[in-house]
Amino acid sequence: MPPASSRPVDNLDDDDYPAYTMGRAAEMLGTTPAFLRTLGEHRLITPLRSEGGHRRYSRYQLRIAARARELVDQGTAIEAACRIVILEDQLEEARRINEQLRAHGGESQPKTTT
């Protein structure tokens, strides 16, 4: 058995690996393939395509789709739900970057005296 450091990355642990077919993704979310296609039309998620042209979804994309479904189930129009989820995702990314800058910012920013 090769050492752990030379072991290939296990795709099943990769949140961005397109492991799920459209049918399986829809089943997992309790929705229809048409719902997933609509999310794609609104550019909320863009599934990768297999060599045969079939849509493939990652776990990250399924979490995004699940959030959109929650909003739609609560009565939010699908266009609005997609926009809300996009904004939530952007806010989370901005918070993550902000935390990184705070954690490392003191080292690289010059101190000013007043």
Q: What is the pLDDT of residue 86?
A: 95
Q: With CA atoms as reference, report the closest residue to 35 among 4, 64, 5, 3.
A: 64
The whole-angstrom separation of Cα 18 and Cα 49 is 9
Give the pLDDT confidence score for residue 19 in this predicted structure. 86
Query: What is the reported pLDDT for 109?
Result: 52
pTM for this structure? 0.75
Residue 110: pLDDT band (50, 70, 90) is: low
